[in-house]
Amino acid sequence: MIIPRNLLLASLPTTEWIELQPLLEHVQLRKRQVLEEPRTGIQYVYFIEHGLAAVQARTQAEGPHGVGLLGRFSMTGLPLVLGTERSPLRVVVQTGGEAYRLKASDAEAFFKHDTALRRLALRYIQVRMVHAAHLALCNARHPVEHRVRRWLLLALELLGEDEICVSHATIAGHLGMRRPSVSEHVKRLEKAGLVSQGVACITVHNRTELELGVCECHRLVWAEYRRLQNG
């Protein structure tokens, strides 16, 4: 039996995983691939196996702004769980990766009944609500240095590895900051020996030290994701 890396799929009872498996298609995710477009019907629900995707809100004046980050603990298609066929937000892949995808019509059949997938998806929506609330609090109240550390730590957890291959501009887009400000703070972390930077990736060498200098938001949000896994 295939064991999924996506923690939501991995949390399903074996009977329902066996039922769901033939309906899932394993796909590669390309950088900048759009998984959901605002005001457009959702075609697939994606369960991310590897990689990062951003949930973005946008205005005409300011362009896209990251309001959520998805990875191996995540799924798309939340409007379908809530009985809506269109997404209000954009979901776009940030790093290459892999996912299982489920046709929207098949997903709706699971979400209409009291299935384990529906119960898990509802709990996941609750986690995303808590995450969004703390994101708003953190961006309004906490220093830039803490926010950069928080973003890096969440990306590490969602990727399940120590290398994060995104640009400083991408991180800035999530934090509502200017790119030079992100670069300055990443450079400070590099000088302190906590991270190193390659051409396109940031590698974290000392997660413990990174956690010591982050605000409370990371621990609070991450505890919610962990609870999903533990039931």
Residues lying near Zn ion in the complex (CB under 5 A): 138, 142, 215, 217
DSSP 66-79: EEEEESTT-BS-HH
Question: CA 6 to CA 102: how far, in whole Å?
Answer: 13
Task: Supply 197's token pair.
Answer: 């930077």
Three-class DSSP category at 40: coil
Residues 163 and 231: beta-carbon distance below 8 Å: no
Helix, strand, coil shares, percent, the chain, to 5: 50, 25, 30
Q: Which is nearer to Zn ion, 101 or 134 (CB)?
A: 134
Q: Which residues contact 185 (CB under 8 A, 6 or more apart)?
A: 144, 145, 148
Q: Which is nearer to Zn ion, 123 or 142 (CB)?
A: 142
CB closer to Zn ion out of 58 and 141: 141
DSSP 8-class letter at 87: B
Sheet holding 202-204, edge to edge: 163-164, 202-204, 195-197
- In angstroms, the CA 228 to CA 18 distance is 20
Please give the single-letter amino acid code of residue 75: M
Q: Closest distance between Zn ion and the C-beta of residue 214, in Å?
A: 7
